[in-house]
Amino acid sequence: MTMTGRQAHHVGRMLCLFLLTASPLPLMAQTAISPPPAEAEEPILPDDQFEARLPGVEGSDPDAPLPSIDSWIDQQMPEQAVDGGSNGEPAELPPAVEPAQEQELAQPLPPLDSVTVPANAGPDADPDAKLPQVRYATSIEGFGKTGLEDEFRAESVLLDGDGKADTAAMVQQRAQEDEKLAVRLFYSQGYYDATALASLDQAGDGTLKAIISVTPGKRYKIGAIVINAGPTVPPGLVRDSLPLKTGDYIVAANVESAEANVGLKLPEQGYPFAQVGQRDILLDPATTAGDYTLPVDVGPRGAFRKITTSGEKQAFGADHMEVIKRYKPGAIYDSRQVDDLRKALVATGLFSSVAVDPVRTGEPGPDGTEYIDLHVEQQAGPPRTLAGEAGYGTGQGFRAEGTWTHRNLFPPEGALILGVIAGTQEQGASATFRRSNAGKRDKTFQTGITLNHQNYDAYEAFTAGLNVGWSRQSTPIFQKRWTYSYGAEILLTNEQVVVDPATADKTRRTYFIGGLPLQIGYDRSNDLLNPTKGFRANLRAEPEGSLQGSFSPYIRATFDLSGYYPVSDSLVIAARTRLGTISGVDRDDIAPSRRVYAGGGGSVRGFGYQELGPKDVNNDPIGGRSVNEFAVEGRYRFGNYGVVAFVDAGQVYESSIPKFSDMRYGVGLGGRFYTNFGPFRADIAMPINRQPGESKFAVYIGIGQAF
């Protein structure tokens, strides 16, 4: 056979560890040789002599039936076995086998490969003695500048054995595995002529030395690139989605990644049923290049039509899924929209399993496409959940809140939420109806009633409230950039009021308040519960007023801004500021529970809850009409733990505009334990320039970062 200058090897689809599997060439030609005919030999015993020696059958008819086996045995038994001895007594039978021996004899024999003979076995050997370990050294040669030696060392079984083995055969087996490992690593980087040889040498002291010697050979590059695929819109879509270039080294990971990109991009551009076929790479040793060919079945170009659903137990039907989807019927199929719908269904929390898959209809769509339906296979999960949170703060005491939620009591997504608050200084109960995705994706309608009792140094209040509102808020699955809420609330509250701060005289008053709360937020942080970069801004404004007698309107407003800067993978600098005001009314005409306060775990640490600002003669806070707060903290994380150092500052003023004077400062340290639902937080802080009546330190415990 004559071979041309182009020697070809084909590279198959299995390219995870290496791209080439070459069948070994035969080592030598073999010729079949027939053995010489054997010489004729005379029989050992002639046939006539053999037949003469056979025992005859005496006095029997050859056609008669054979005797029974029992009678034949009796004839064969020796006479003493029947008569016993000379006295004619029966012979004694052998002793019976004990039951334990009988069970032992019934056990199966162990397999041969399980029987081992120790090397030191002998008449005087200790059967419990442990065989000495075999010590060996490992030498690796030939990797050179390939950059693969570190990876080889990380995966080597010889090196992983730390130079110890039970037997020399085990060392040899490890060396053979490392030999295969070296070849796989070279193939994965395009060294298809690479070879590896493992050998064992024994030193004079009996120590073994395992040697892995490799020869990388030439490294192959990608030659011509050929795509076998049908026409697409736009033309060349498959080739543009394949990030491979002629002249690139044939690296297994890069080739697989490029092909995966084709399988990702085509469904995003209207081809839901595209299939990437088996690649073929034709290597030419003369040019050290490989021509790459990839077949792709693009399938029909599709357009969205409708949603269908099925499942043994369904949370809601396809009509509500049409509300949740973001695409419009007739739009070109885009797998990203399908993924978005799947995530939105998961975010409802109503499914134990849900899958969304495209289905061909065979019906023509717009612009030469085929209509594609989305089929949702669903299985509803448990609709009821219990949730809770607890914390402690100086001045606020212990506070625990629990909720019971039936998320689909009023389908679709109509939830009933019952809540309770139990604490040393606050108690309450609430009932809320909430409908998610109410007529529009991500829009939530909510209404509820609350009953609450608060008893703090600043005030004591018994409050009943009704509220209604619409909102668009972030969830753990969908952290939204823009959020908002608006609505209305009515409060009836009976509170203890300080009539004169100079005398601390108090009385009780009842307030009937109506308000129109409005909030808008902008979030560019990277995480809802534990942000490490980005920033957040939030503005809340609530026009409200007394509904008793003549209407007295005023406005309450707060602006919050926080930012997060990653100094390194372990260290984050976080900072925040808050500005707040109440305008259009005197402080004494505002219900104490509606005034502005500062101090505590979510405000200025180092001080008790609501401790900052104007005080009465008993040094109890009475609230104000404006506030400014600032905080900066360094968050250092190591594994699932972290430490925080922080400085907080702030003050409350009687005026409606913050004065940025007489600022109070607190410094402290905190610990963090990071869980899959957020960090557990414990902070301790002390006030700077502590005033009479203020604590030497304050403790705050909760879930989530301080801001």
**What does the DSSP assignment read for 147-175?**
S-HHHHHHH-HHHHTTTEESSHHHHHHHH
Q: Is the pLDDT of residue 31 over 70?
A: no
Q: How many C-beta atoms surround the C-beta of residue 221 within 10 A?
A: 16
> With contact defined as beta carbons under 8 Å apart, do 668 and 646 qualify?
yes
Report the alpha-carbon distance of residue 557 to residue 551 in Å, rounded: 19
Secondary structure string (H, E, C) spanning 672-688? EEEECCEEEEEEEEEEC
Sign of CA dihedral 692, 423, 669, 475: negative
- For residue 373, what are its two tokens? 């339906």
pLDDT band at 199 (very low <50, low <70, confident <90, very high): very high
> With contact defined as beta carbons under 8 Å apart, do 43 and 56 qualify?
no
Report the alpha-carbon distance of residue 564 to residue 575 in Å, rounded: 7
Q: What values do phi and psi take at 70, rounded to 5?
A: -65, -45
Q: Which residue has the higher pLDDT, 345 or 207?
A: 345
> With contact defined as beta carbons under 8 Å apart, do 398 and 424 qualify?
yes
Q: Domain 221-297 is in which class?
A: alpha beta
Q: Is the pLDDT of residue 497 over 50?
A: yes
Looking at 22-36, 85-99, 266-280, 404-418, which range is the least confident one?
22-36
The CA-CA-CA angle for residues 262, 268, 274, to 5°, reads 50
pLDDT band at 702 (very low <50, low <70, confident <90, very high): confident
Q: Is the pLDDT of residue 116 over 90?
A: no
Domains 134-215 and 302-380 fall in the same CATH topology? yes
Looking at 13-27, 79-93, 170-184, 630-644, which range is the least confident one?
13-27
* Most confident range, picked from 76-80, 111-115, 498-502, 669-673: 669-673
Q: Which residue has the higher pLDDT, 52 or 436?
A: 436
Q: What values do phi and psi take at 94, rounded to 5?
A: -65, 150
Q: How many C-beta atoms surround the C-beta of residue 671 within 10 A?
A: 14
Q: How many C-beta atoms surround the C-beta of residue 624 within 10 A?
A: 25
The residue type at 13: R
Q: Domain 384-703 is in which class?
A: mainly beta
Report the alpha-carbon distance of residue 68 to residue 52 in Å, rounded: 27
Q: Is 470 exposed, middle or buried (0-12, 13-18, 19+ CB in 10 A)?
A: middle
Q: Is the peptide bond before 234 cis (omega within 30 degrees of 0)?
A: yes
Report the alpha-carbon distance of residue 298 to residue 292 in Å, rounded: 19
| pLDDT at residue number 82 | 42
Domain residue spans of the chain: 134-215, 221-297, 302-380, 384-703
| pLDDT at residue number 505 | 83
Q: Which of 474, 409, 402 is nearest to 435 (CA)?
A: 409
Q: Is the pLDDT of residue 348 over 80?
A: yes
**Cα–Cα distances in angstroms (integers) from residue 423 to residues 141, 391, 404, 428, in the given order:** 70, 9, 18, 9
**Cα–Cα distances in angstroms (integers) from residue 610 to residues 427, 517, 542, 617, 688, in the given order:** 18, 22, 21, 16, 17
Q: Which of 255, 256, 263 is nearest to 238 (CA)?
A: 263
| Chain mean pLDDT for the chain | 84
Q: Look up the CATH number of domain 302-380.
A: 3.10.20.310
Name the strands in the sheet holding 195-202, side by side, starting at the edge strand that comes first in the sequence: 164-165, 134-141, 208-215, 195-202
Q: DSSP secondary structure string, 621-669?
A: B--BSEEEEEEEEEEEEETTEEEEEEEEEEEEESSSS----S-EEEEEE
Report the alpha-carbon distance of residue 619 to residue 501 in Å, rounded: 9
Q: Which residue has the higher pLDDT, 276 or 49?
A: 276
| pLDDT at residue number 474 | 86
Sign of CA dihedral 513, 516, 522, 527: positive
| Percent of the chain whose pLDDT exceeds 90 | 65
Q: Which residue has the higher pLDDT, 23 or 487?
A: 487
Name the strands in the sheet holding 351-364, side by side, starting at the edge strand that comes first in the sequence: 302-310, 370-380, 351-364
| pLDDT at residue number 502 | 79
Looking at 18-27, 581-590, 686-695, which range is the least confident one?
18-27
- Rounded to the nearest 10 degrees, how much is the dihedral formed by the CA atoms of 546, 551, 552, 553? 90
Report the alpha-carbon distance of residue 385 to residue 383 in Å, rounded: 7
- For residue 650, what are its two tokens? 């702030």
pLDDT tens digits for range 221-264? 999 999 999 999 999 999 999 999 999 999 999 999 999 999 99
| pLDDT at residue number 528 | 85
Place of tokens 């006479």: 79
| Percent of the chain whose pLDDT exceeds 70 | 81
> With contact defined as beta carbons under 8 Å apart, do 369 and 269 qualify?
no
> With contact defined as beta carbons under 8 Å apart, do 688 and 612 qualify?
no
pLDDT band at 551 (very low <50, low <70, confident <90, very high): confident
| pLDDT at residue number 2 | 33
- The Cα diameter of the chain in Å comes to 145
* Domain 134-215, architecture per CATH: Roll (3.10)
Report the alpha-carbon distance of residue 201 to residue 207 in Å, rounded: 8
Q: Which residue has the higher pLDDT, 684 or 89?
A: 684
Q: Which of 628, 642, 656, 645 is nearest to 686 (CA)?
A: 645
